[in-house]
């Protein structure tokens, strides 16, 4: 990892109201290097946005320390803000302002100017004269991204950037993000699209109940998760051979469906295929896949739910 641009040490964020205080972020330590894309994942209510707002300088930490470019992003907001671009989940644009006018207005507030045509960069140059109220939901998200790109920021904070985009527009957004990474820009991304995190991130963290429960590369995150083999055998077929993994079976009209959960995908798949060949058995609907980020994410969510359930 390159020299850290963003660090958090023991960061906590507590909301206080008329009721009991609620701690949304509970002691988070992170270090994000220059030119790295760091994805922040978590279940709803895990604390992702609460943490991101502290790192962006939009809110102070209740405890702990945050540094962006070596400065406190809340106390030294003017210095930090000049070098960052922020794409919020919802920007709340004035309805009657045209897209091109919005870009010019936002550019006027920035101390760092850029001659880049950000509307062209996000594919909205043909919509510059259209009022924000007449833009589709996906076009508004692209306008959000355009404003975050203004001023050529050194750090981009992208909070659910591709929500509402069609698959082609999502891929276009990924291409834009990759181009910024190639220029050495640091990107912090929150997303509910796990394939987006797999596609883009250098490292990621998964939050649950205000804490980071796993952190590392995608390979690091899924390393502890088992692979899976599924197949169906005809009703008159012999039982499959013993495998290193554990097998569950379900009888149906077309035969018996097996789900094998295994830590040794290659060995079990080889043994199964060799047995099927020698026994003259056809493995119906055969599917074999390594552990995925989705599997790890669901495992974390299930573990958290079990911990909260007194009957579990």
CATH of the domain at 16: 3.40.50.300
Residue 75 and residue 166 share a domain? yes
Q: Can you give the pLDDT at residue 115? A: 58
pLDDT by residue for the chain (312 residues), tens only, comes to 788 999 999 999 999 988 889 999 999 999 999 999 999 999 888 999 999 999 999 999 999 999 999 999 999 998 999 899 999 877 677 778 888 888 888 888 776 666 568 888 888 889 889 888 888 888 888 898 988 998 889 999 999 899 888 888 889 899 999 999 999 999 999 998 899 999 999 999 999 999 999 999 998 998 878 899 999 999 889 989 999 999 998 887 778 999 999 999 999 999 999 999 999 999 999 999 888 898 888 888 777 544 444 443
Instruction: Give the chain's end-to-end CA distance (angstroms, integer).
Output: 40
Count of domains for the chain: 2
> Of the candidates 190, 226, 224, 223, which has an alpha carbon nearest to the alpha carbon of residue 206?
190
Which of 167, 198, 222 terminates a domain? The answer is 222
Spatial CB neighbours of 256, under 8 Å, sequence gap ≥ 6: 232, 233, 235, 237, 249, 250
173 with 231, same domain?
Answer: no
In this predicted structure, what is the pLDDT of residue 267? 95
Residue 94 placed within a domain:
no
pTM for the full model?
0.82
Residue 212 lies in a domain: yes
Would 27 be classed as within a structural domain? yes
Q: Quick check: 147 and 118 in contact, CB under 8 A?
A: yes
Of 175, 192, 222, which residue is a domain's last? 222
Q: Do residues 9 and 71 both lie within one domain?
A: yes
- Residue 282: domain span: 227-290
Whether residue 79 lies inside any domain: the answer is yes
User: Considering the domain boundaries, does residue 169 fall inside one?
Assistant: yes
In a domain, 131, yes or no: no
């Amino acid at each position: 990892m390159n020299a850290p641009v963003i660090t958090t040490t023991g960061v906590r964020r507590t909301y206080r109201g008329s009721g009991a205080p609620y701690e949304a972020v509970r002691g988070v330590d992170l270090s994000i290097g220059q030119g790295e894309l760091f994805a922040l994942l978590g279940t709803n209510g895990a604390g992702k946005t609460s943490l991101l707002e502290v790192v962006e300088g939009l809110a102070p930490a209740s405890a702990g320390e945050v540094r962006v470019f070596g400065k406190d992003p809340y106390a030294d907001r003017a210095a930090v803000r000049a070098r960052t671009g922020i794409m919020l989940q919802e920007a709340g644009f004035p309805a009657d302002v045209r897209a091109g006018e919005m870009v010019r207005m936002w550019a006027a507030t920035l101390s760092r100017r850029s001659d880049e045509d950000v509307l062209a960069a996000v594919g909205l140059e043909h919509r510059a004269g259209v009022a924000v109220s007449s833009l589709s939901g996906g076009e508004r998200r692209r306008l959000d991204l355009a404003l975050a790109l203004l001023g050529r920021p050194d750090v981009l904070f992208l909070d659910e950037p591709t929500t509402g985009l069609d698959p082609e527009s999502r891929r276009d957004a990924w291409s834009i993000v990759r181009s910024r990474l190639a220029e050495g820009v640091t990107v912090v991304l929150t997303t509910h699209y796990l394939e987006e995190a797999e596609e883009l991130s250098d490292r990621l963290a998964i939050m649950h109940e205000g804490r980071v429960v796993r952190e590392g590369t995608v390979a690091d995150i899924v390393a502890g998760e088992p692979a899976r083999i599924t197949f169906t055998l005809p009703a008159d077929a012999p039982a499959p051979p013993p495998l290193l993994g554990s097998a569950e079976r379900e009888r149906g009209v077309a035969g018996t469906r097996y789900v094998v959960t295994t830590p040794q995908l290659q060995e079990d798949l080889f043994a199964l295929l060799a047995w099927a060949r020698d026994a003259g058995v056809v493995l119906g609907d055969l599917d074999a896949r390594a552990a995925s980020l989705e599997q790890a994410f669901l495992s974390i969510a299930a573990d958290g739910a079990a911990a909260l359930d007194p009957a579990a």
